[in-house]
Amino acid sequence: MKEILLLKDGEIVLKGLNRRSFEDVLKKNLKYALSDLGSFEIKSAQSTIYVRPLDDDIDLDDACERVSRVFGIVAFSRAVVCEEKTLESILATAPVYLADSLNGVKTFKVEAKRSDKRFPYKSPEICREVGGVLLQSFPHLSVDVHNPDMVVNVEVRDFGAYIHGKPLKGAGGIPVGTGGNAAILISGGIDSPVAAYMMAKRGVKLTAIHFASPPYTSKRAEEKVVRLLQKVCRYSGRMKMYTVPFTKIQEKIKNECPEELFTIIMRRLMMKISSRIATDNDCSALITGESLGQVASQTINALGCTDAAADMLVFRPLIGMDKQEIIDISYKIDTYETSIEPYEDCCTVFTPKHPRTKPVLKYVEYAEEEAGFDELIQEALDNLKITKITADND
């Protein structure tokens, strides 16, 4: 039997005249997500995207998993395609295709949708006929229209007749690429991969920036960041990662700035450098994993000082979230186990004993100017390393 995936558009349906272009991006993203599984025909009609495998050996379980991570789809169904668009064909197909699932339940009901109005039977008639055939084939079943164990869906559409069980949950959000470009400042921690996922969910195409301070931070710490991004790429699609050599800058901060301002100055320099990389990559915003009050550098005053160093909008999608809420998402996107591997981040090198929780911008700026970082910033920008990251689908 031939199967197909029927995908339901999410918020795209609200986009009015722009809907076509959103749908085109979504189809392109689906094609990319499925590309290494075989060839598929992907087309849309009536708020539904049809994903039809063209090779016989395609594993549809894998395809479902990939589809479940593509933003822009609220729900999808794995359905059988009836050989003909006739009631007879529907009645012959339903008991065979649904046998496994129906053997595991006691009650069911049939729901029919007839979007092809030329089909000679109306929805209630289709329900009655299919219900009758299923009762006959599976005598242990009874119909429960209020609280059934299983809903059998029959859809008669322009391109054919389809039968499926419960729809699966989609990733929600809007298609990556429809919300502009932004650069995610990624550490090896729990928060920033979650922040990246959340902005990709709102359609943002990502570029990653990671600050490394060898020998204070190790090669393995950077590899961990790559592995985290490979998980994020399962949702966001591929991205470029820039690794910024940060050692000299951090040493200069340590040697020439007041200790209680180490962290805030480091964060500001991260923002300055990131703004430059972002601009060069056509990004119009930065993203961080900061959450209000989580640590000394994330108080309102500290964030204000950090923000002032950025040349562009800064998104902090975790700002109002508790650590546990962030952790819950990191489990969901499977980054948690990697994030808690114990490698040092440049943020934990030279941390002051008593960081200023209420830094005053003009004093911070003064300390920076006294030390003078322009040359080292330029040197760091001249020595960026670029890594191409694609999804880890294992």
Given 187, 236, 250, 263, the residue binding Mg ion (CB under 5 A):
187
Chosen residue from 48, 77, 297, 330 binding ligand ATP by CB under 6 A = 297
When binding is defined by CB under 6 A, the residue of 294, 357, 387, 393 that contacts ligand ATP is 294
- Per CB under 6 A, the list member of 190, 229, 239, 314 interacting with ligand ATP is 190
Residue 131 sits in the site that holds ligand ATP (CB under 6 A): no
Out of 90, 112, 161, 185, which residue is the one contacting ligand ATP (CB under 6 A)? 185
Question: Can you give the chain as a three-state secondary structure string?
Answer: CCEEEEEEECHHHHCHHHHHHHHHHHHHHHHHHHHHHCCEEEEEECCEEEEEECCCCCCHHHHHHHHCCCCCEEEEEEEEECCCCCHHHHHHHHHHHCHHHHHCCCEEEEEEEECCCCCCCCHHHHHHHHHHHHHHHCCCCEECCCCCCEEEEEEEECCEEEEECCCEEEEECECCCCCCEEEEECCCCCHHHHHHHHHHHECCEEEEEEEECCCCCCHHHHHHHHHHHHHHHHHHCCEEEEEEECHHHHHHHHHHCCHHHHHHHHHHHHHHHHHHHHHHCCCCEEECCCCCCCCHHHCHHHHHHHHHCCCCEEECCCCCCCHHHHHHHHHHCCCHHHHCCCCCCHHHCCCCCCCCCCCCHHHHHHHHHHHCCHHHHHHHHHCCEEEEECCCCC
Number of residues that bind ligand ATP (CB under 6 A): 19
Looking at the Cβ atoms of 204 and 347, the one nearer to Mg ion is 347
Single out the segment in contact with ligand ATP by CB under 6 A; choices: 25-33, 141-149, 327-335, 340-348: 340-348
Binding segment (CB under 6 A) for ligand ATP, from list 89-97, 172-180, 283-291, 358-366: 283-291
Task: Determine if 263 is a binding residue for Mg ion (CB under 5 A).
Answer: no
Partner whose binding site includes residue 289, from ligand ATP, Mg ion, none (CB under 5 to 8 Å by kind): ligand ATP
Q: Is 355 in the site for Mg ion (CB under 5 A)?
A: no
Q: Which does 297 bind (CB under 5 to 8 A by kind): ligand ATP, Mg ion, none?
A: ligand ATP
Q: Does 193 bind Mg ion (CB under 5 A)?
A: no
What does 211 interact with, of Mg ion, ligand ATP, none (CB < 5 to 8 A by kind)?
ligand ATP
Pick one of 346, 376, 389, 391: the residue that binds ligand ATP (CB under 6 A): 346
Count of residues binding Mg ion (CB under 5 A)?
Answer: 4
7/204 with CB nearer ligand ATP: 204
